[in-house]
Amino acid sequence: MLIQYRPLGRNASEISRDVETAVREGRAQPGALLPPVRTLAAALGLSPVTVASAYRELREKGIARGNGRAGTKITGAPPIGPRPALAVPPGARNLMVGSPDPSLLPELPSLRPQHRLYGDPPVSPRFGRLAAERFAADGIAADHLAVVGGALDGVERVFGAWLRPGDRVAVEDPGYPPVLDLLSALDLSAVPMALDEGGVTPAALQGALARGSTAVLFTPRAQAPTGAAWDEQRAAALAEVLAAAPGVLVIEDDHAGPVSGAAAHSVAGVARRWATIRSVSKSIGPDLRLAVMAGDAVTVSRVEGRQALGTGWVSGLLQEIVAELWADRATGRLFARAATAYAQRRGYLIDALAAHEVPAMGRSGLAVWVPVADEPAVTGALLERGWAVAPGERFRIASAPAIRIGTGTLTREEATRLAADIAGSLVRRPRRSD
């Protein structure tokens, strides 16, 4: 029997706050159903529009998810505390994460760098020069650079530089779960933007801006979780929309960079306030916790100023390791080989699914997104067959159900078997008649 939580409140904000408090205090458990809109409206003496607005706010905060006729449920891990990792049973093939293949990461060099001292510039000269060259090669201005502790750290620092609690941020839907958690932690509201294989659609961006978004966060390629990637036409169309809203803050999270399998395109320079963040986690290794940010002078200055009051700077040793690898032509060849390998592995699964007439997205990156009608049923059926895949619920605000499959280490033989098992799990079982 499904447990239901009935919130209280005299308006949309109070209903939303009641549910959030109940989840934090453990009175509303993950998976609990919220009453249908009209049922709760009648019980509280409010209009259905008011209750629907409250439910929308809960979805935007990542606290609840709409599941069509199945109703609105508290999410599996509401982002009002740390979101735990999904458990993978012993013996199951773990395809939940979009991690890189360790065999396609470069061997880290042994260095004996000079000691850096207090007062030295936060960006090592050699690292800064090489980073600027890489940005410039893709047409991105690199007059102002900062080094941060990974892509999400950079996103948070840019948010902190410009935004205040209550501000609205346009984000991709489906998108990266930690971003939704971060927005909730900073008391920022997520405004979902629909996307296709080419990334956020211009209409979705225009709609998010019309709803009062003061910032926009894009993933130009290797979009998590769909693998969407911009082409030149899409980037130009988005830039045209942004040109009409020059005051909006634009952030690009280019986390996979040279191994994404897609060309670089950017719209950041269209805005007065912008930042493009490039992590080395997918190309060199997640444990380095390093990303480089290009942006306008004020944004970069604010990021570095706040950084100086905390960690101070990102280790010069880490910067020198990355610079040494960037300067080595063999690393460039490895990046190209990795991009090709990841494209092949995505292709293995997408082609195998197509043979079963199952559509999927995966234009770039290290994962494939497969629309399904019933996430729990499909993930459960796959787990019975030994496959651990991620339910799309963790990635969605208002978009349709799906599953996310990490393909970074997927083999052709595995893709063939997995596609057959997915197709089998999508076959509707006849209902039993009593």
Instruction: Please check whether the two domains, 12-74 and 114-328, share a CATH topology.
Output: no
Place of tokens 């709803």: 211
Q: Would you state the pLDDT for residue 430?
A: 44
- Stated as kind and residue range, the H or E segment containing 133 is helix 125-137
Q: Which homologous superfamily does the CATH classification assign to the domain defined by 93-101+332-426?
A: Aspartate Aminotransferase, domain 1 (3.90.1150.10)
Q: How many CA atoms lie within 13 A of 165 on its CB side?
A: 4
Spans of the chain below 50 pLDDT: 1, 429-434
Domain boundaries, the chain: 12-74, 93-101+332-426, 114-328
* Pick from 52, 73, 106: nearest CA to 331: 106
Summarised one tens digit per residue, pLDDT across range 65-81 is 876 666 788 876 555 55
Radius of gyration of the chain (CA): 22
Region class of 61: left (phi > 0), else alpha (psi between -120 and 50), else beta: alpha
Backbone angles phi, psi at 145, to 5 degrees: -130, 150
CA of 41: how far to CAs of 11, 18, 69, 248, 390, in Å?
A: 10, 15, 18, 36, 34
pTM exceeding the 0.75 threshold for the entire prediction: yes
CATH class, range 114-328: alpha beta
Contacts of 402 (CB under 8 A, 6+ apart): 174, 225, 369, 370, 371, 372, 375, 392, 395, 396
The number of angstroms, rounded, from the C-alpha of 391 to the middle of its chain's C-alpha atoms is 14
Q: Would you state the pLDDT for residue 432?
A: 45
d(CA 275, CA 312): 20
The number of angstroms, rounded, from the C-alpha of 193 to the middle of its chain's C-alpha atoms is 13
Q: Does domain 12-74 have CATH number 3.40.50.1000?
A: no
| The two three-digit tokens of residue 187, written as one number | 């008391």
DSSP characters for 158-188? HHHHH--TT-EEEEESS--HHHHHHHHHTT-
d(CA 395, CA 262): 22
The answer to whether 430 and 109 have CB atoms below 8 angstroms apart is no
* Pick from 181, 218, 228: nearest CA to 85: 181
Per DSSP, what are the bridge partners of residue 279? 291
d(CA 100, CA 409): 7
Q: Would you state the pLDDT for residue 31?
A: 78
